[in-house]
């Protein structure tokens, strides 16, 4: 092909290109789709920003000081950390008075150690003839504390009874006792022992026979002992 033919071909192609209309505007349907996509992306991005902000705030709160989880030390908390009394720390003394057909009083348990301890609950009482434990014709029952029988105010911290160290105030507890029907008439008074919860036995050294044994009200009936819970001793 000659050079003249090439020039004529380029001129013809240029004229045809000028006749093709140019589309400088976006079709309406395409523009609507574009706007919806932009709006949707904006919502998603906004939601992510809010979620990240809430998570960051929660993280800061979790890492911050939590004052509510720290409980202040109270007197009741301190009482629960005081160890229970052992038999080796205590001495028991009885105090009984005569009543119609019975003997009533209490057994006092005093702390003779250099450490504070606590008593709680109702102890087990055992009676002995010389060295043999009496296990027949004998019934034990629980009764209320003396402060309840007197309709007095409830002692602070009860049923836990703290016993201060030897020489300090409030270093004794007591157990209410009511005893009936000791047969046969004239039978020697027994030895009383108190079982300390989680520990051993403590002998009641004296006082349980100060008013004598109760009368025999029925030879075929068992002897009956009512025992109250540990409570603060008014004399301590």
For residues 107 and 179, membership in a common domain is answered with yes
Average the pLDDT over 14-21 and give the result: 55
Look at residue 117 and tell me if it is in a domain: yes
For residues 49 and 140, membership in a common domain is answered with no
Look at residue 68 and tell me if it is in a domain: no
Q: Which residue has the higher pLDDT, 147 or 169?
A: 147
Look at residue 166 and tell me if it is in a domain: yes
Look at residue 70 and tell me if it is in a domain: no
For residues 25 and 96, membership in a common domain is answered with no
Average the pLDDT over 9-21 and give the result: 57
163 lies in which domain range?
85-232
For residues 91 and 56, membership in a common domain is answered with no
Tokens 């046969």 -> residue = 184
What token pair was written down for 38? 């932009």
- pLDDT of 66 reads 44
Look at residue 124 and tell me if it is in a domain: yes
Q: Which residue has the higher pLDDT, 6 or 146?
A: 146
Number of domains in the chain: 2
Reduce the DSSP state of residue 228 to 3 states and report it: coil
- pLDDT of 61 reads 45
Task: Give the residue from 63, 94, 109 where a domain finishes.
Answer: 63
Look at residue 154 and tell me if it is in a domain: yes
For residues 136 and 94, membership in a common domain is answered with yes
Strands 90-99 and 102-111: antiparallel
- pLDDT of 59 reads 43
Identify which of 116, 94, 84 has the alpha carbon closest to the alpha carbon of residue 233: 94
How far, CA to CA in Å, does 152 sit from each of 6, 113, 227?
128, 30, 19
For residues 103 and 196, membership in a common domain is answered with yes
- pLDDT of 15 reads 60
Strands 172-180 and 231-232: antiparallel
Residue 38 has pLDDT above 80, yes or no: no
Look at residue 178 and tell me if it is in a domain: yes
- pLDDT of 64 reads 46
For residues 53 and 137, membership in a common domain is answered with no
What token pair was written down for 78? 């301190």
Q: Which residue has the higher pLDDT, 114 or 130?
A: 114
For residues 150 and 223, membership in a common domain is answered with yes
Taking residue 103's Cβ as centre, other Cβ atoms within 10 Å add up to 24
Least confident piece of the model among 28-32, 41-45, 82-86, 137-141: 41-45
Look at residue 80 and tell me if it is in a domain: no
pLDDT in tens, 121-166: 999 999 998 778 987 789 999 999 999 999 999 999 999 999 999 9
């Amino acid at each position: 092909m000659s050079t003249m033919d090439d020039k004529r071909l380029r001129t013809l192609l240029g004229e045809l290109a000028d006749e093709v209309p140019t589309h400088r505007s976006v079709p309406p349907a395409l523009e609507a789709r574009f706007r919806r996509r932009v709006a949707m992306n904006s919502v998603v991005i906004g939601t992510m920003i809010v979620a990240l902000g809430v998570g960051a705030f929660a993280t800061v709160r979790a890492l911050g000081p939590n004052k509510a989880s720290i409980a202040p030390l109270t007197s009741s908390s301190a009482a629960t950390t005081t160890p229970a009394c052992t038999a080796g720390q205590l001495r028991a003394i009885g105090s009984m008075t005569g009543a119609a057909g019975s003997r009533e009083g209490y057994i006092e348990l005093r702390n003779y150690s250099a450490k504070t301890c606590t008593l709680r609950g109702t102890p087990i009482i055992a009676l002995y003839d010389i060295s043999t434990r009496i296990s027949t014709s004998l019934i034990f029952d629980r009764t209320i504390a003396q402060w309840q029988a007197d309709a007095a105010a409830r002692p602070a911290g009860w049923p836990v009874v703290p016993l201060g160290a030897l020489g300090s105030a409030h270093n004794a507890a007591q157990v209410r006792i009511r005893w009936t029907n000791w047969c046969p008439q004239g039978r020697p008074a027994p030895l009383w022992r108190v079982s300390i919860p989680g520990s051993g036995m403590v002998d009641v050294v004296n006082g349980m026979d100060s008013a004598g044994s109760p009368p025999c009200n029925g030879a075929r009936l068992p002897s009956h002992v009512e025992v109250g819970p540990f409570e603060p001793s008014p004399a301590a």
